[in-house]
A and B are shown apart, each in its own frame.
Chain A
């Protein structure tokens, strides 16, 4: 493989995109979902379509599948012009949309039969085909189970099996791994690899998880409707080779260190990773500790392997990229320390359970969170983290156990407890049809802020979150990153002591995520307690402490370092959070099997 983005292949490419553009009109505004995309997707390998939400991944998939017609440009899939012969293309490829259309009231077998009928698979071929698919997905023992009763990972596998029932030569998978637990994620990847190796299927797989780039043979990196680059993942990471380092400074807190490094000259990127700060420099030379950290004699700087994300961030921050300027200008402000960080326990959970009928969504969960801590609740969809979270916010009564938030028992003083908490819901829920200013005004009033104080806080929100230029814009029309800022601003109107963040940065681009965490870190420094749920393994690294949940129970509690240390071995010298998670789940399964 050459280092250039041009890929020379002997075989005919699976998909050819030739200056493809597509715009949508929403609310009188034209959104350019895809802007002049040209690429060749190789056949017989996995190509990753990687980018944050609103990058245009789904639009591109739907165009290739012939479900949309491009405004300009030409798409040829498997040698067929898609715009001219959509039915022929659809017959030859398999497309699995983000929320695959499984019929939840049908069994696994009935779903397979239905899709076999839809794809006109001959009856004589079916038994062999089913056997193969069921073996591949491990769904064999569950053929009689209703699809609605499967776990998130199993549903995804069934969706994949239904897509594969027609033996497509080209497979389009739209975010198949999002929200799926890491174990199922690995299994899904194994199925995809198996298809490529044994059947020579070409796969185009989109994902918002940047760490999945390294699992693809080729990567098409997208951002805001444009391609930022194409090539093997190695070509991306090689570009930033020798520029990634781990900094450990016992003299200062990790947050203070990160804040300092983020603005240091010569540093492109600085993020918290466990107790360390991971930096990417703009030159491939180790930074001089005396220069970078003059007053910290004990600081250690170690070179680490580059990651795909490093390359993405450096591409986004490259000169000429419009966003770079905006983020650089957002110099973190000193947040006044309202309350001295102390050891007070802000959230105490004891033997908490929540039952729905005879199903325990949360079972016997206990933990506590100290003031000023960033505490994570990590788990896959359906692990019980959302249920726990909702109980903590007073949105759901507990079946058993005690819950104390900000010193108030939620059973007795829910309203008083709520006055002390801020809540940022998943997907940044705000009143979409109201303007930014109206949203802020409403939440200020809902938290009982009086006239002068209300004006002051709204002014603070507009300037602190750089929302001034958008004050009168409909919040539905805001870019995703600004929606997220507005949601955080609304949750902070009343200066809560605790803030709950539900999947705060899912789908946001890496720069937006850094910007967000910069604010959260500043809040934590000023003594605000932060509670985060996430299925995003990366985000766990930003937390001081976290618990990992699966099937309603806590599997492990501790710092991310401790969790990773447990699985460190000769084979995995530098385990990721995901490795730790997978090992925990597998141990749990093994223990369960022993107990049974």
Chain B
């Protein structure tokens, strides 16, 4: 039995490695996506363009403006003198924020009352708007604390002292890059295995394979091993790039990471082979893979937290292997989690893998016409 499986595995590996198109699938997308996600995808905002509408021409208001202009987060692009000008800048997206200081600002401050300041943000991208507001309120809080220190006055009743665990600077790259390990491994493994049976079916070689004494189990194992091997290599490459190139801390052990990876690959190969055994052509298989991939990424918590989803959708994420693996990689990278603490994430992936592989094996013989 193992001899036959070995023969099939070698054949699969050769078929993938000798075909220039499949070779590209292994090398091209991972590198491109690693660069795109590593550099371009970031929730951090830098150099947010903003306009100043300062109706209070005096020293304190200029100080406040200087705090904004001097921060690396903001970049002053215009000084305006009317509400109409604010509209003209925000509508075409030239600025994301307008800082408007009321004429009574200095007068109120000096008389011990809060000085009115208005922030107008472009709310079209709610996520960016929230982040801009957060930064702005930090600057204003700092200004208030500075004012109290210099001019006296009542301290604010509660003072916020923020400590961010696991990611002290809240660098969003630390959050995204470990996610890429899951994302890229999924793309490569799924596409590779989804094409493997469909390619043979299209060429007519699958019939040839099925008339040999090989059992569906042998075919499933022989078709899974190359995906496992290639997926492991891809993932190792991305993990190495995350640690050595992007300097993401790897706080946990490699063993639990690779246990999680192995189970994730198992479930991906199962899904891929199932798609493949349902498709008649490679085109269908590719379409099927993407039909699986897009919701799987969105429902994984890669970008948006699962906890924010409606309950019904949250239930749906339990059948998504990527959901579990994301917790595993992020846990091991940032928290240094152990395999034992990740057990609740590991067994569901194993179950999904076994079920999908069994279904693929069953479908090999059923879906022949």
Using a CB–CB distance below 8 Å, which chain A residues touch chain B?
Answer: 356, 390, 393-396, 415-416, 418-419, 421, 423, 425-427, 429-434, 438, 441-443, 445-448, 450, 490, 500
Contact = CB atoms under 8 A, between A and B. Distances in A.
B4 interface: yes
Contact of B212 (A418, A430, A431, A432): A418
Interface of B: 3-4, 6-8, 10-11, 14-15, 18-19, 203-205, 207-215, 368-369
B33 to A, nearest CB: 26
Nearest to B10: A442
Contacts, number: 79
Contacts of A394: 210-211
A431 B368 contact: no
Given A423-B208, A429-B204, A448-B3, A434 B11 contact: yes
B201 to A, nearest CB: 10
A445 B7 contact: yes
Contacts of A447: 212-213
Contacts of A390: 207, 368-369
Contact of B208 (A356, A415, A416, A429): A429
A425 B7 contact: no
B368 A395 contact: yes
19 contacts: A415-B213, A419-B213, A423-B208, A429-B208, A433-B15, A433-B18, A433-B19, A434-B11, A434-B14, A434-B15, A434-B18, A442-B7, A442-B8, A442-B11, A443-B212, A445-B3, A446-B7, A448-B213, A490-B208
B3 A395 contact: no
B5 to A, nearest CB: 9
A446 B368 contact: no
B281 to A, nearest CB: 15
Contacts of B214: 446
Contacts of A426: 204
A385 to B, nearest CB: 14
A438 B369 CA distance: 29
Contacts of A396: 368-369
Contact of B210 (A395, A445, A450): A395
Nearest to A491: B208
A431 B8 CA distance: 12
A455 B23 CA distance: 30
Contacts of B7: 441-442, 445-446
A421 B208 contact: no
Contacts of A500: 211
Nearest to B222: A446
Given A431-B203, A446-B8, 12 more contacts: A416-B213, A423-B207, A426-B204, A429-B205, A433-B14, A433-B19, A434-B18, A438-B11, A442-B11, A443-B212, A445-B4, A500-B211
A443 B11 CA distance: 10
Indicate the member of B11, B204, B208, B211 with the most A CB atoms within 10 Å.
Answer: B211
A425 B204 contact: yes
Contact of A427 (B4, B6, B18, B204): B204
Contact of A418 (B203, B205, B211, B369): B211
Nearest to A450: B3
B6 A445 contact: yes
Contact of B205 (A431, A438, A441, A448): A431
A448 B4 contact: yes
Contacts of A448: 3-4, 213
Indicate the member of A418, A445, A446, A450 with the most B CB atoms within 10 Å.
Answer: A446
Contacts of A431: 11, 15, 203, 205
A238 to B, nearest CB: 42
Given A426-B204, A438-B14, A356 B19 contact: no
A489 to B, nearest CB: 13
Contacts of B14: 433-434, 438
Contacts of A427: 204
A418 B219 CA distance: 15
Nearest to A447: B212
B369 A356 contact: yes
A99 to B, nearest CB: 15
Contacts of A441: 7
A261 B80 CA distance: 104
A425 B15 contact: no
Given A431-B11, A434-B15, A442-B11, A415 B215 contact: yes
A441 B14 CA distance: 13
Which 9 pairs between the two chains have the least Cβ-Cβ distance? A445-B7, A429-B204, A423-B211, A446-B212, A419-B213, A442-B11, A429-B205, A425-B204, A433-B18
B15 to A, nearest CB: 6
A2 B198 CA distance: 55
Given A423-B211, A429-B207, A446 B4 contact: yes
